[in-house]
């Protein structure tokens, strides 16, 4: 069943990217699975927020959380390397990828329903408290539990295909074997004390080595939203994800040092 779900997601994204109205290009997704009863979900109430949901809050008989990462193409990522504000291409990719995730999750839901299984749809974004700016369902943390990647110094999930893209998840009562997690760090700073380029890239002084001011971060997101208001709600930035050793790969796994890495 793992491979069937992976194929379904991969083929849907391939087909979606060929539609005339879609301008964004994506790489091949990574798809992992978490046991909905994994005790790490309860730990998110300590790590993220006391109000963070459990899979059973969406489906009382939840068995599996499907988590996937859709990487942006190099063109999208490289378009956002220069300047204080996010590129139009990066902002559009954010909008189009969120729409892709919404459509894809609906597609998965229908496919599972045809097999007499239920699933619960969770928005790709904008499911956070406006005061605390903390989500009650963190797709990145859920993906971490599934073994999809590890958190970098930039608070992004670094996968085997880097950190530039979008993470999504869906809860189902179909039992699928969970993907194994490993203990290796993917961030060069966390693993070797090398690289803090994401901190250097932060344009609003929100990201530090030992702290993160999410309200300062949100300020620049709103500035970008105003700049790209013609596209819709584009509260994005991405400067702490681009032009990094981990933008497209897991640099630790590839045995790249900070000095040798070329993005």
Each residue's pLDDT expressed in tens, for the chain with a length of 263 residues: 999 999 999 999 999 999 999 999 999 999 999 999 999 999 999 999 899 999 999 999 999 999 999 999 999 999 999 999 999 999 999 999 999 999 999 999 999 999 999 999 887 654 555 655 678 899 999 999 999 999 999 999 999 999 999 999 999 999 999 999 999 999 999 999 999 999 999 999 999 999 999 999 999 999 999 999 999 999 999 999 999 999 999 999 875 544 444 44
For domain 2-183, give the fold.
Answer: NADH Oxidase (3.40.109)
3-state secondary structure of 128: strand
What is the DSSP-derived secondary structure letter of residue 1?
-
Q: How far apart are CA 227 and CA 235, in angstroms?
A: 10
Q: How far apart are CA 155 and CA 149, in angstroms?
A: 12
Domain ranges in the chain are 2-183
């Amino acid at each position: 069943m793992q491979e069937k779900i992976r194929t379904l997601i991969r083929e849907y994204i391939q087909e979606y990217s060929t539609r005339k109205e879609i301008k964004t290009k994506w790489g091949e997704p990574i798809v992992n699975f978490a046991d909905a009863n994994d005790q790490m979900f309860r730990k998110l109430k300590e790590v993220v927020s006391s109000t963070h949901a459990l899979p059973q809050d969406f489906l009382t008989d939840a068995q599996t959380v499907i988590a996937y990462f859709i990487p942006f193409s190099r063109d999208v990522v490289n378009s956002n390397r220069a300047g204080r504000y996010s590129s139009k291409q990066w902002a559009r990719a954010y909008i189009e990828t969120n729409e892709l995730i919404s459509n894809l999750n609906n597609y998965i839901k229908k496919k599972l329903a045809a097999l007499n299984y239920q699933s619960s749809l969770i928005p790709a974004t904008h499911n956070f408290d406006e005061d605390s700016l903390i989500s009650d369902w963190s797709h990145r943390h859920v993906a971490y539990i599934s073994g999809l990647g590890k958190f970098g110094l930039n608070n992004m999930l670094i996968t085997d295909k880097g950190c530039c893209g979008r993470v999504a998840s869906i809860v189902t009562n179909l039992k699928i074997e969970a993907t194994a997690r490993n203990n290796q760090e993917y961030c060069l700073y966390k693993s070797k004390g090398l690289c803090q380029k994401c901190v250097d890239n932060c344009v609003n002084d929100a990201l530090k080595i030992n702290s993160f001011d999410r309200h300062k971060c949100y300020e620049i997101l709103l500035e970008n939203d105003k700049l790209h208001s013609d596209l819709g709600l584009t509260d994005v930035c991405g400067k702490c994800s681009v032009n990094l050793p981990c933008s497209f790969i897991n640099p630790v796994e590839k045995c790249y040092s900070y000095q040798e890495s070329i993005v």
